[in-house]
Amino acid sequence: MDLTDIKSIIIASASEQADTDEIPRRLEDQGVSFDFSSDFNEKVIERIFKEKFTVIRESDFGKNLSKVFYRIALTGVAAIVLLLLSIFLTEGSISFNSFLGMGSIYDESVFYLLTGI
C-alpha cells in the first residue's frame, strides 16, 4: 500500500458512510498505531500512589500548623494582658504616655532633656 492509498483512507474516514471498523485496522496494518512509552504504567501508578501519600502528609502538616498557631496565639494574648496589667499597676493608667514610660514625666522635663535649654 502506498501513500496515495493512505491518503484515500484518511479522506474516507471523514465520510459518513465510512466503515469505521475497517479503517483503524487498515491503518494499523500500515504502522499507524499509537501507544505510550514502555514505562507508562509504572509512571501512572507511581504518580497516583505518591500523590496520595503527599496529600496525607500535607493534611498532617496543616493540622499540626493550626495547633501550633493556636498555642502561639494564646501565649501572645496572655503576654499582652500581663503587659497591660503591669503597665496599669506601675503607671496608674494605660494611656499612650504610660506605654512609652513617660506617664510621670512633665512636658518641661522632656523639653529640657531633648534641647538642653
Partner 1 sequence: MKESYRLADENELIKASLEGNASAFEEIVSRYRRLVARTVKGMLGDSVYAEDIGQEVFIKLYYSLPEFRGEAKLSTYIQRIAVNLTLNEIKRRKRFFSMFSQKGNDEIYEYEIPDHGGPEKEEAKELVNKALMSIDPKFRIVVVMRMLQGYSTKETAEILNLPLGTVLSRLSRAQEQLRKILKAL
Q: Does 77 bind partner 1 (CB under 8 A)?
A: no
Q: Which is nearer to partner 1, 19 or 60 (CB)?
A: 19
Interacting residues with partner 1 between 80 and 99 (CB under 8 A): none
Interacting residues with partner 1 between 14 and 53 (CB under 8 A): 14-16, 18, 20-21, 23-25, 27, 30-37, 40-41, 43-45, 47-49, 51
DSSP code string of 9-65: HHHHHTSTT--TTHHHHHHHHTT------TTHHHHHHHHHHHHHHHHHHHHHHHHHH
Min dist CB 22 to partner 1, Å, is: 8
Residue 30 gets the label, from left (phi > 0), alpha (psi -120 to 50) or beta, of: alpha
Residues written for the chain: 117
Applying CB under 8 A, which residues contact partner 1?
3, 6-7, 9-11, 13-16, 18, 20-21, 23-25, 27, 30-37, 40-41, 43-45, 47-49, 51
